Amino acid sequence: MIAELGIAELGIAELGHFALILAMFVAAAQVILPLVGAARNYEPWMAFGRPAAVAQFLLLAFAFGSLTYSFVVSDFSLAVVYQNSHTDKPLLYKITGVWANHEGSMLLWILILSMFGAAVAFFGANLPPTLRARVLGIQSLIAIGFYLFIIFTSNPFDRIVPPPANGAGMNPLLQDMGLALHPPMLYLGYVGFSIAFSFAIAALLEGRVDAAWGRWVRPWTLAAWAFLTGGIALGSWWAYYELGWGGWWFWDPVENASFMPWLAGTALLHSATMVEKRDTMKGWTIFLAIVTFSLSLLGTFLVRSGVLTSVHAFATDPARGVFILILLIVVTGGSLVLFAMRGPAMRNTGVFQPVSREGALLVNNLIMTTAAAAVLLGTLYPLFLDALDGGKVSVGPPYFNTVFIPLMLPMIAAMAVGPMLGWKRADLGAAMKRLWLAFILTIVTAIAVWAVASDGPVLAMVGMAMAVWLGVSILVELTERIRLFREPFASSLNRLVRTPRASWGMTLGHLGLAIAVAGMAGAGGWKQEAIQTMAPGDSVEVGGYTFTFEGATEGRGPNYYLTQGAFAVTREGEPVVTLYPENRRYPVRSMPTTEAAIHTMFTGDLYAVIGDPEGTDGAYVTRIYWNPLVVWMWAGSVIMAAAAGVSLSDRRFRVGVPRRRKAPAPAAAVKA
């Protein structure tokens, strides 16, 4: 039984509830005063935006903190605590339980939204006052939609009378470190795109977009993109080790919901570069900013409304769906109408030939948006068909793989060439000539792969070859840039050191993708699996490794019972490692979980899962996988996210502080 909670413990939640409602009123004032002030050019009203944004963030931080406190002290008079927690749960998972449910995660969502608003207020001293006022007003307008949504359909501070004695527990699949960090990362990404969105709307209201605007939008987009990249990678990693099927991407609607903003955000990142450096593609960039954040909202709608079913959807509720749909229509529909009215007036001054750095970035944009549209179509197709009474279908990996992979191959091919091209006008032939080494190594890789794994899928070979093509061409570009072997080494080294961090960001980001592509090709193409019943002493050979089952033992953990199996792995008689997969049963919730045992090596992962007992002689159902190169995928993702961080640290556009210089930078930035 639990200790009785006193009035003070119970009252904390009441204060949190009050802070949440108060924050909504602050938000309302933050919409009206700055926006009206900006329209009438009335300085004091515009200035209200900054303190209001900070106040909103502090109030929400208090509300979130008080909900966390209620989880920690197990205040089961709160419905959300009762439904998702239990006194037996480890403290860490009591805390992560705050956002492992619909209500708490929405509170986290809006907390992050207000945090970004406060960040604009804090770093935005140099912004033109009207632009800053409008950005903060729009940011707060989005927030109001979410405040209403939380308070009226998903209030985390709702009480149960009388309070139950103990909680219903948390889905054991969610009691995991990887998944605990996954939502905050993902939301930092999703919600981070709201800044680009607010800047886009503010620019439409202002009627102007210039290089300074691009310099502002790009770092925020880059930061959001880095978090989203990390969040997606973390989610995929979680699915890989926790679901126990050796897979890492399932094209599930929930995964697609995070992947679509990533694709659109990647396009936005590249088109914002063109606005910043070349004063072109302004209307398109604004459109992408709207689309990227809208896809984040759409993801929320799909996951929480119940219009699509998914293996890991939140508890869904059509009433919530109606609310988010209205929000989506107001935010996306409203901004697209504004875009249709004001967008045509955007003037681009930078002109360019099709073969140029701009042209290459445009190819990136076209392919990325096409890919996002293809994923959107596949994700929504079951909904379209159901709405037309065409019956229930589900669109699976075959569709997505068929559509997505052919789109990515030309993009990777172009990615190698793009950075070699100069702005405005470039010589494609000369760029290709400089890539002779990459071309030869690509062919050599293809032949080598064919020789070693001629029975594998062709796609894996093509993927490996493309990864080499991209990786080598990036290194070629880097050596060209620092004029290695053409100038004395010291001079090259000096150039290397003086390379701007933004350039390093691009080089590392593209290199990260090359490594990730190699991982995906290997893990997707050459994965091997064996599912069988094994008695102690039985062996099975997978991927050239021999797995010998040494039996299983029963035991118990802090809040679960477990079966632990032991597999001795050898390769050509030499012992490699012993794997101990577990099968856990949580008494509070009925769901069992599998804890796969994974041994990660440079060349691939050894992956073992123990299932249910079979018969009485100590035999168990076991699943053994060989996942080649899978760690490259996570490593590549981490490098991509880190590359964005490197780029962000560049002096030229450190978050928020674009120095006002007397001599404007564009001329210097144009040099290729």
Partner 1 sequence: MPLDQTRQPPPKRLLFLLPVAVFGVLAVYFAVGLTKDSRRLESVLINTPAADFQLPAIKGRANPDREWGLETADFKGEVTLLNVFGSWCIACQVEHPFLMQLKQTSDVPIHAIDWREEDLDAGPNWLKHYGDPYALVGDDPVSKAAIAFGVTGAPETFIVDKQGVIRYRHIGPMNAEVWDDTIYPLVQELRKQ
Minimal distance in Å, beta carbon 216 to partner 1?
17
654 is a site residue for partner 1 (CB under 8 A) = no
Give CA–CA dist 236/230, Å, rounded: 10
> Taking contact as CB under 8 A, which single stretch among the options 34-42, 339-347, 395-403, 471-479 is the one that binds partner 1?
339-347
Give the one residue of 11, 318, 396, 457 binding partner 1; rule: CB under 8 A. Answer: 318
Work out the angle between the directed axes of helices 177-206 and 211-242 (0-180°, nearest 10): 160
Range 43-82, binding partner 1 (CB under 8 A): none
Tokens of 602: 């440079």
Q: Which is nearer to partner 1, 164 or 537 (CB)?
A: 164
Amino acid code (one letter) for 541 = E
Helix (H, G, I), strand (E, B) or coil at 620: strand
Give the one residue of 125, 345, 430, 447 binding partner 1; rule: CB under 8 A. Answer: 345
561 is a site residue for partner 1 (CB under 8 A) = yes
Is the CB of residue 93 less than 8 Å from the CB of residue 175? yes
Is the CB of residue 272 less than 8 Å from the CB of residue 220? no
557 is a site residue for partner 1 (CB under 8 A) = no
Is the CB of residue 323 less than 8 Å from the CB of residue 150? no
Give the one residue of 177, 351, 366, 387 binding partner 1; rule: CB under 8 A. Answer: 387
Give the one residue of 159, 342, 424, 425 binding partner 1; rule: CB under 8 A. Answer: 342
Minimal distance in Å, beta carbon 347 to partner 1?
5
614 is a site residue for partner 1 (CB under 8 A) = no
Minimal distance in Å, beta carbon 562 to partner 1?
13
Minimal distance in Å, beta carbon 362 to partner 1?
16
Q: Which residues are CB-neighbours of 494 under 8 A, at least 6 positions away?
A: none
Size of the site for partner 1 (CB under 8 A): 51
Going residue by residue from 206 to 235, which x/- string records binding to partner 1, judged by CB under 8 A? -xx-x-------------------------
**Listed residue (261, 262, 260, 235) closest to 249, CA to CA:** 235
Q: Which is nearer to partner 1, 132 or 589 (CB)?
A: 589
Q: In whole angstroms, what separates CA 660 from the centre of its chain?
A: 33
158 is a site residue for partner 1 (CB under 8 A) = no
Minimal distance in Å, beta carbon 313 to partner 1?
10
> Taking contact as CB under 8 A, which single stretch among the options 142-150, 303-311, 470-478, 527-535 is the one that binds partner 1?
303-311
Q: Which is nearer to partner 1, 194 or 369 (CB)?
A: 369
In this structure, the number of other CB atoms found within 10 A of the CB of residue 174 comes to 22
Q: Is the peptide bond before 162 cis (omega within 30 degrees of 0)?
A: yes
In the chain, how many H helices and how many E strands? 22, 10
Q: Which residues are CB-neighbours of 378 under 8 A, at least 6 positions away?
A: 251, 256, 395, 399, 400, 403
Distances (CA, A) of 187 to 23, 115, 254, 285, 294: 20, 12, 13, 22, 14
Minimal distance in Å, beta carbon 591 to partner 1?
6
Minimal distance in Å, beta carbon 284 to partner 1?
11
615 is a site residue for partner 1 (CB under 8 A) = no
Is the CB of residue 321 less than 8 Å from the CB of residue 304? yes
Give CA–CA dist 250/312, Å, rounded: 11
Residue appearing with tokens 């003037």: 347
Give CA–CA dist 667/669, Å, rounded: 5
Give CA–CA dist 82/164, Å, rounded: 7
Give CA–CA dist 288/390, Å, rounded: 32
DSSP characters over 507-571: HHHHHHHHHHHHHHHHHHHS-EEEEEEE-TT-EEEETTEEEEEEEEEEEE-SS-EEEEEEEEEEE
Q: Which is nearer to partner 1, 169 or 359 (CB)?
A: 169
Going residue by residue from 570 to 599, which x/- string records binding to partner 1, judged by CB under 8 A? ---------------x-xxxxx--------
287 is a site residue for partner 1 (CB under 8 A) = yes
Residue appearing with tokens 């890539």: 435
Give the one residue of 347, 483, 486, 651 binding partner 1; rule: CB under 8 A. Answer: 347
Give the one residue of 214, 230, 283, 636 binding partner 1; rule: CB under 8 A. Answer: 283
> Taking contact as CB under 8 A, which single stretch among the options 164-172, 402-410, 427-435, 509-517 is the one that binds partner 1?
164-172
Minimal distance in Å, beta carbon 309 to partner 1?
5
> Taking contact as CB under 8 A, which single stretch among the options 240-248, 341-349, 453-461, 573-581 is the one that binds partner 1?
341-349
Minimal distance in Å, beta carbon 164 to partner 1?
7
125 is a site residue for partner 1 (CB under 8 A) = no
Amino acid code (one letter) for 503 = S
The sign of the dihedral angle between the CA atoms of 308, 314, 317, 318 is negative
The dihedral region occupied by 277, where left means phi > 0, alpha psi between -120 and 50, and beta the remainder, is: alpha
Give CA–CA dist 358/338, Å, rounded: 27
Q: Which is nearer to partner 1, 333 or 544 (CB)?
A: 333
351 is a site residue for partner 1 (CB under 8 A) = no
Give the one residue of 220, 249, 301, 469 binding partner 1; rule: CB under 8 A. Answer: 301
Helix (H, G, I), strand (E, B) or coil at 597: strand
Q: Which is nearer to partner 1, 344 or 429 (CB)?
A: 344
Q: Which is nearer to partner 1, 291 or 368 (CB)?
A: 291
Give CA–CA dist 51/118, Å, rounded: 8
343 is a site residue for partner 1 (CB under 8 A) = yes
**Listed residue (366, 377, 225) closest to 296, CA to CA:** 225
377 is a site residue for partner 1 (CB under 8 A) = no
Give the one residue of 17, 86, 102, 510 binding partner 1; rule: CB under 8 A. Answer: 86
Q: Which run of H or E residues covers position 595?
A: strand 592-595
Minimal distance in Å, beta carbon 332 to partner 1?
6
Range 504-533, binding partner 1 (CB under 8 A): none
Q: Which is nearer to partner 1, 59 or 308 (CB)?
A: 308
> Taking contact as CB under 8 A, which single stretch among the options 179-187, 287-295, 453-461, 519-527 is the one that binds partner 1?
287-295
Instruction: Write b or e for each residue in 287-319: b if 16 or more Cβ atoms lie within 10 A of its Cβ, otherwise e.
Output: bbbbbbbbbbbbbbbbbbbbbbebebbbebeee
386 is a site residue for partner 1 (CB under 8 A) = yes
307 is a site residue for partner 1 (CB under 8 A) = yes
Phi, psi of 65 (to 5 degrees): -60, -40
Give the one residue of 95, 328, 403, 459 binding partner 1; rule: CB under 8 A. Answer: 328
178 is a site residue for partner 1 (CB under 8 A) = no
> Taking contact as CB under 8 A, which single stretch among the options 227-235, 325-333, 353-361, 410-418 is the one that binds partner 1?
325-333
Phi, psi of 625 (to 5 degrees): -130, 150
Q: Which is nearer to partner 1, 333 or 354 (CB)?
A: 333
Give CA–CA dist 543/529, Å, rounded: 8
Q: Which residues bind partner 1 (CB under 8 A)?
A: 86, 164, 166-169, 207-208, 210, 283, 287, 291, 294, 301, 305-309, 316, 318, 321-322, 325, 328-329, 332-333, 336-337, 339-340, 342-345, 347, 380, 383-384, 386-387, 392, 561, 585, 587-591, 612
